[in-house]
Structure 1
């Protein structure tokens, strides 16, 4: 049965790191409107989507739950798999990771958007 899910695109290899349980924080300059965010589809894509309307082909690699968001701390660089720390960003806490095997080709877009996939 197909269902509509919220989705978030993440540049490779970070989507795969989330699906593998290696990356437990997603760092963003913005926060979601509502929490918790359940059954969020992680869509891995090749390029940063910087402009409204930017889109490219990605692949759905996991379902996750975002349980909370807090100000990103310098001590959390490893959990985020980041190369550096910068003040003013938000750490999205990733939980309940369910990899999608095999990954499914799907559009990658900016912010949180909606996709249709077979049910979890």
Structure 2
């Protein structure tokens, strides 16, 4: 009986770990920042400047870069076990951040950090 419990627990742990890997695979691509919503309304010209050519790129080996109007940055990232929280550690001198992943699929990424929502669409090659 204990053998079956151990086997079931091992299968469950492997399944949960695989789910986190799926999120990392979905995240690992280049994203175009398509919208930014903040608690304080942004002036249209400021928002347009922030969105201009803004990209976020995540790689399968745990690295990221951002560029464009959102600012240039690079570093490493991790996902929590459930794939719900994205943590970044900047190697370019910027702040490290933690984002809640509100939505992630093959075409769309929505991140939230302290009331700021960043919506991205996948970059087409």
TM-score, normalized by length of structure 1? 0.24
Structure with the higher fraction of residues in helix conformation = 2
Higher Rg: 2
